[in-house]
Chains A and B, each alone.
Chain A
Amino acid sequence: MSEHITGIDYQTALANLRSSDLTMREDLPPQDELLRRFHPDYQDGARIKLPIGPNAGDYCHPELAKLLISQPLINDYDLSGAEHLNTDVLVIGGGGAGAAAALSATEAGARVIMANKLRIGDSNTVMAEGGIQAAIGADDSLQQHFEDTFKGGHHAANKHLVAQMVTDAPAAIRWLIGLGMTFDLAKGENNNGHLSRKRAGGTTVPRILSYRDFTGLEMMRVLREAVELDENITQLNRHPAIELLSDEHGRCVGAILYDLEKRRLILVHAKSVVLATGGSGRLHLQGFATSNHYGATADGLVMAYRIGAKLKDMDSFQYHPTGVAHPPHLAGALISEAVRSAGTKLVNGLGERFVDELLPRDVVAAAILRECREGRGVVWDGQVGVFLDTPRLIAGDPDVLNRLVTLGHIAHKCGVNPAEEPVMIHPTLHYQNGGIEIDGNGESCVEGLYCAGEVTGGIHGRNRLMGNALLDIISFGRRAGAAAATSGLPLKKVRGGVGHVHNLQREMTRAGLVSEVKAPVLYPNYGKFDLREHAGLQEQQS
Chain B
Amino acid sequence: MSNSLLTLTINGHEVHASPDASIIQAYAHADNAITANVGCMGQGVCGSCRCMIRKEGEREVRTALACETKVEQGMQVSFIDYFIPEHIQYYDITAIGDGWNWLEDTQKAFPEAEHCRHCGGCNRACPKGLEVENGVAQVVAGDFGAAADTFDQCVMCNLCTLSCPEHIRPNHLGLFARRMKAARTLRPVDLMRRLREIDSGKMKVEFDGELAS
Chain A to chain B: the 6 pairs with minimum beta-carbon distance, closest first: A180-B179, A122-B39, A163-B212, A163-B205, A529-B33, A182-B182
Taken residue by residue from 22 to 58, chain B's Cβ proximity to chain A (1 for < 8 Å, 0 otherwise) reads as 1001001101111110111111111010000000000
Within 8 A of A (CB), among B160-182: 172, 175, 178-182
Q: B148: which A residues are within 8 A, CB to CB?
A: 182
Known contacts A119-B82, A167-B198, A527-B33; decide if A225 and B172 are in contact (CB<8 Å). Answer: yes
Question: B91, B156, B185 — which one has the most chain A CB atoms within 10 A of its CB?
Answer: B156
Q: B92: which A residues are within 8 A, CB to CB?
A: 229-230
A126–B155 CA distance with the chains assembled, in angstroms: 9
- Please, which residue of chain B has its CB at the minimum distance from the CB of A225? B175
Q: B38: which A residues are within 8 A, CB to CB?
A: 118, 122, 294
Q: Which residues of A contact B (CB under 8 A)?
A: 118-119, 121-123, 126-127, 134-138, 141-143, 146, 159-160, 163-164, 166-167, 170-171, 173-174, 177-183, 185, 191-195, 212, 214, 216-217, 221-222, 224-226, 228-231, 235, 237-238, 260, 293-295, 327-330, 333-334, 381, 409, 413, 522-523, 526-530, 534
Known contacts A146-B205, A159-B207, A179-B179; decide if A171 and B195 are in contact (CB<8 Å). Answer: yes
Within 8 A of A (CB), among B183-210: 183, 185-191, 193-195, 198, 203-208
- Please, which residue of chain B has its CB at the minimum distance from the CB of A124? B40
Q: A126: which B residues are within 8 A, CB to CB?
A: 39-40, 45-46
Whether B100 sits at the interface, judged by CB under 8 Å, is no
Question: A137, A181, A191 — which one has the most chain B CB atoms within 10 A of its CB?
Answer: A191
Tell me if A122 and B48 are in contact (CB < 8 A): yes
A409–B68 CA distance with the chains assembled, in angstroms: 11
Q: B25: which A residues are within 8 A, CB to CB?
A: 329
Tell me if A217 and B155 are in contact (CB < 8 A): yes
A142–B90 CA distance with the chains assembled, in angstroms: 38
- Please, which residue of chain B has its CB at the minimum distance from the CB of A529? B33
Closest CB in chain A relative to B140 CB, distance in Å: 19
Taken residue by residue from 67 to 85, chain B's Cβ proximity to chain A (1 for < 8 Å, 0 otherwise) reads as 0100000000000001010
A228–B158 CA distance with the chains assembled, in angstroms: 14
A221–B154 CA distance with the chains assembled, in angstroms: 9
A212–B149 CA distance with the chains assembled, in angstroms: 12
Tell me if B190 and A194 are in contact (CB < 8 A): yes
- Please, which residue of chain A has its CB at the minimum distance from the CB of B26? A329
Closest CB in chain A relative to B147 CB, distance in Å: 13
Closest CB in chain B relative to A169 CB, distance in Å: 9
Q: A194: which B residues are within 8 A, CB to CB?
A: 188-190
Set B18, B180, B187: member contacting A329, Cβ < 8 A = B18
Q: B154: which A residues are within 8 A, CB to CB?
A: 221
A359–B20 CA distance with the chains assembled, in angstroms: 34
Tell me if B205 and A195 are in contact (CB < 8 A): no
Known contacts A170-B191, A295-B39; decide if A142 and B207 are in contact (CB<8 Å). Answer: no
Tell me if A293 and B181 are in contact (CB < 8 A): no
Tell me if A238 and B36 are in contact (CB < 8 A): yes
Tell me if B21 and A329 are in contact (CB < 8 A): yes
Known contacts A137-B190, A293-B40, A527-B35; decide if A181 and B207 are in contact (CB<8 Å). Answer: no
Q: Show 21 A/B contacts (Cβ-Cβ < 8 Å), sorted by A.
A: A119-B82, A122-B38, A127-B45, A142-B204, A163-B212, A180-B182, A180-B183, A182-B178, A194-B189, A194-B190, A195-B190, A214-B45, A214-B153, A217-B45, A221-B154, A329-B20, A329-B25, A333-B42, A413-B42, A526-B28, A526-B29
Closest CB in chain A relative to B198 CB, distance in Å: 6
Known contacts A225-B179, A526-B29; decide if A293 and B191 are in contact (CB<8 Å). Answer: no
Whether B93 sits at the interface, judged by CB under 8 Å, is yes
Known contacts A180-B180, A182-B148; decide if A216 and B45 are in contact (CB<8 Å). Answer: yes
A171–B191 CA distance with the chains assembled, in angstroms: 9
Closest CB in chain A relative to B194 CB, distance in Å: 5
Whether B94 sits at the interface, judged by CB under 8 Å, is yes
